[in-house]
Amino acid sequence: MKGRRFGVFTMGVALCLVLAWSVFAHAAAKAPYKIGVNLELTGPWAEVTKTVKMAMTMEVDKINAMGGVDGHPLELVIEDNGFDQGRAAAIMTKFARAKDIVAVVGPFEDPLQGTTRAIAEREGVTNIIFCPSTPMVRGLKQKWSFNIAQSDIIVSQRLVDLCLARGYKTVLVFPGNWPLALSLADYFKKFGEEKGMKVIVSSETHAPSDIDMTPQLIKLKPIIGKEKVDCLYACTGGPPGPIIVKNMRALGMKTPVIGTHAFGFGFIIALGGAAMEGVEFGAGKPVVPYQLDKDDPIRLIVIDFDKRMQARYKIGADQIAGHAHDATWLVYDALKRCQGKVTRAAFRDALEATKGFKACHGTYNYSPTDHDGLRKEDMVFIRIEGGKFKRITFPGYK
């Protein structure tokens, strides 16, 4: 009798082991979906892209804790392009030819993405870009490239709204000398003049690596007085923004300053210090998580993300962290909609079919004719006040 019980017990244990092994083997058989990440982790944009890497890693960890995509974990394959166009192209080519890479996120900066987009089209792999699109890019009608950030068109429209709300009639634009900044300047002039504003685009420009714009600003100072300029538009991104403002204030230039959505990065205030007080711009909702309208469907998404960023990294959400969040969850959503039949082509088609997807920066809608995704209404007005980002609103400007 005792021997029979022992035999039954042994068989039960063996059965449990077999079942456990089959579950483990099944889980192990589900290979990860790999996402290439091509970032400027060293060089002038290192501080920004560090935030991208941290936010994407945190979101992938959350997705994998939820069971991944139908049991397949997500895996980030991260490489540093060093803010070098040749390296960015080499990394993109490497990712494109690694058949287990489903899609590629990055690079971050405008000067590098033109090459990676071309490689994406040639190799047939989705390239998700952080930098906004430009007329040149949109004119190419690329099938495999998608944008996360607000486009140059909607950023310009939003800044014109800000100027109209403030009653600015004459604006001087000090643009960067790279394609995106020049496109932003051109569109701002176009939309501003359509609304009756006088927009002067300066022939003085600056490079993304400039650390002192005093010489250019000295030349702009007489124009501000002669033309009775109401505000100066620092049409730039990253470190040049606060440098321009600091140089202006050091020269005694008290003209109000407006900036692009790239003024919504967390380091901007720290870099510009007290000089940034009063600077205004249009930006994404992650810049002011707790100041969004109570009925805004994006509010709880941004607040949850901000709390998790604070808990894990001791920094809050900002413009770029929000882009990283959105890129990661757009990938997840598109993979889910492939319904287990994940190929590069199926993923691309699923991403292009995205409709009404709510994330930190707003509601994304892609289509065969629109790979930008967001609208002007997804942006809010921001003022730097007391060393912090503060949301401002104006009657008549949603």
* Residues 157, 115 share a domain: no
pLDDT of residue 29: 54
pLDDT at residue 19 in the model: 43
Q: Does 257 fall in a domain?
A: yes
In a shared domain, residues 364 and 386: no
pLDDT of residue 15: 45
On whether residue 273 sits in a domain, the answer given is yes
Tell me, yes or no, whether 130 lies in a domain.
Answer: yes
Exposed/middle/buried for 44, CB within 10 Å: 0-12, 13-18, 19+? middle
Q: Give the pLDDT of the chain (398 residues) as one tens digit per residue.
A: 445 444 544 444 444 444 444 434 344 458 999 999 999 999 888 888 999 999 999 999 999 999 999 999 999 999 999 999 999 999 999 999 999 999 999 998 877 888 899 999 999 999 999 877 677 777 677 899 999 988 899 999 999 999 999 999 999 999 999 888 999 999 999 999 999 999 999 999 999 889 999 999 999 999 999 999 999 999 998 889 999 999 999 999 999 999 999 899 888 999 999 999 999 999 999 999 999 999 999 999 999 999 999 999 999 999 999 999 999 999 999 999 998 899 999 999 999 999 999 999 999 999 999 998 999 889 999 999 999 999 999 998 87
Residue numbers of the domain that contains 65: 33-151+296-375
CB atoms within 10 A of CB 176: 25
| Together in a domain, 95 and 78 | yes
For residues 92, 95, 101 and 107, what is the CA-based torsion angle, rounded to 10 degrees? -30
The reported pLDDT for the residue numbered 22 is: 41
Residues 143 and 242 in one domain: no
Instruction: Decide: 232 and 248 in contact? Cβ < 8 Å.
Output: yes
Residue 23 lies in a domain: no
Domain containing 126 — which CATH number?
A: 3.40.50.2300
Q: Mind listing the pLDDT tens digit for each residue in 103-131?
A: 999 998 877 888 899 999 999 999 999 87
67 — alpha (psi -120 to 50), left (phi > 0) or beta?
Answer: left
Same structural domain for residues 170 and 182? yes
Query: What tens digit of pLDDT does each residue of 217-244 get?
Result: 999 999 999 999 999 999 998 889 999 9
Same-domain check for residues 386 and 245:
yes
For 331-382, what is the HEC assignment? Answer: HHHHHHHCCCCCCHHHHHHHHHCCCCEEECCEEECCECCECCCCCHHHEEEE
Query: What pLDDT does residue 386 have?
Result: 94
Is residue 168 located within the same domain as residue 234? yes
Say which amino acid occupies 117: R
Say whether both 173 and 287 belong to one domain. yes
**The model scores a pTM over 0.95:** no
Say if residue 243 is in the same domain as residue 166. yes
Q: Are residues 38 and 166 in the same domain?
A: no
Pair (257, 159) in one structural domain: yes
Residue 6 in any domain: the answer is: no
pLDDT at 114: 81
What pLDDT score does 180 carry? 87
Q: Is residue 20 part of a domain?
A: no
Residue 244 lies in a domain: yes
Q: Is there a single domain that holds both residue 230 and residue 328?
A: no
The number of CA neighbours under 13 Å toward the Cβ of 58 is: 25
CA 393 to CA 50: how far, in whole Å? 31
The answer to whether residue 21 is domain-embedded is: no
Start-to-end CA distance of the chain, whole Å, equals: 81
What is the total count of domains within the chain? 2
